[in-house]
Chains A and B, each alone.
Chain A
Amino acid sequence: MSARWLVILPVLALALTGCLGESPEERARREQDRLCASERECDDGDPEHRPGQFCLLCHGPDYAAEGVRFALAGTVYLRKGDLAGVEAARVALRDAAGREFDVLTNRTGNFMISVAPGLDQPRDRGRGQLDIPFTPSYPLEVSVTASSRKVEMRSRIQREGSCNACHAPPESPSSPGRIYVLETP
């Protein structure tokens, strides 16, 4: 290799590095690798575990700890800034085909929705778990009701089943923060 290329190639590499950000898929994979270093680490065993984390990283299309796979899942908090989730918040969804279903959060604020094709209608299994007989069609409209207050999500969910993926704390230019229903403490 000539001396000329020994100069050109590093300069080009430096210039191009600025273009190579981390894609959402790469970020999710990195987070999954961090959280799911072993099956045991993700197999916490009950629906109340790991509130606030990206549920579908361990229970999604690419990996299903204990065979548990969700179509949609997340965590609801009562107030902005709360560290613990709220129990019995109602998460109501309507998919692009007009099908409506809803689920109540469990004691850590978690909810999780799985597809169970053999059912005639949605089945609430308690502790934040709902089975629905169809794969929801995107986009989805969502509302959350807790403490007699209903909040409609202004944007629609276009593809992400882990609500906490977009609703990751803290509030920032790239995140609205946790899912909460009351603005004030």
Chain B
Amino acid sequence: MIGARPRTLALALVLATLALPGCTGDEPGEVLAPAGDVASYARDLHPLLEASCATLDCHGDRGRALRLYSEIGLRAEGLSRDAGLSDPELAANVASLLAVDPGAAPARHLALLKPLSKAEGGVAHVGPKLWLNRDDPGYLCLLGWLSGTPAPSACAQALARVALPPK
């Protein structure tokens, strides 16, 4: 830092601090605790995301946006593939989900709009369009969680359509 003044260094550090929150890191331990409700995520939403989004060829990949850990897909370092999903993994999923569109209103959240049909206001998504309209139980499940008003019956209805084979 030859010739740099203290005020310049301070400015550089502030900018770096602002840039870093965009990084979610690879491991759950590196992620700050999110504001989302992890318990209702684990209970209502995760089984649906695990079955329809978290496969290794989609969001179960460290390099992809909305990286999701799941029992059948990506695991955190140090965990057996047969182990149940850990609390840090669940918390990391919540952080990842919220980080898709930080601060967005629930109904306009990108995580909700990407799987939605374009005819219904959805946006481009390399993966499939999972929901044909805003009455789809999967849409209502995620919207409920993002809004802080979990919709377990919608989640259960959506999960019934994509349930995975038993262990």
Report A's interface with B, CB cutoff 8 A: 3-4, 6-8, 11-12, 14-16, 18-19, 21-24, 26-27, 138-139, 152-160, 165-166, 171, 173-176
Contacts and interface: CB of A to CB of B under 8 A. Distances in A.
B63 A158 contact: no
A154 B167 contact: yes
B81 to A, nearest CB: 6
Given A7-B9, A19-B22, A155-B56, 15 more contacts: A7-B8, A11-B16, A19-B23, A21-B62, A24-B61, A24-B63, A26-B63, A139-B52, A155-B55, A158-B57, A158-B58, A173-B74, A174-B60, A174-B75, A176-B81
A27 B63 contact: yes
B64 A23 contact: yes
Contact of B127 (A23, A153, A158, A166): A158
Contact of A8 (B8, B54, B127, B167): B8
Given A3-B8, A7-B4, A15-B19, A22 B127 contact: no
A159 B58 contact: yes
A7 B1 CA distance: 7
Interface of chain B: mostly helix, strand, loop or mixed: loop
A55 B25 CA distance: 30
B19 A12 contact: yes
A154 B165 contact: yes
Contacts of A165: 57
B64 A3 contact: no
Task: Classify chain B's interface size.
Answer: 35 or more
Nearest to B50: A155
Interface of B: 1, 3-5, 8-9, 11-13, 15-16, 19-20, 22-23, 25-26, 51-52, 54-58, 60-64, 72-79, 81, 126-128, 162, 164-165, 167
Contacts of A174: 56, 60-62, 74-75
Contacts of A156: 51, 55, 162, 164
Contacts of A27: 63
Contacts of B15: 8, 11-12, 15
Contacts of B79: 173
A16 B15 CA distance: 11
Contact of B16 (A12, A23, A24, A139): A12
**Which of B19, B75, B127 is the most central at the interface, judged by chain A CB atoms within 10 Å of its CB?**
B19
A8 B12 contact: yes
A18 B62 CA distance: 13
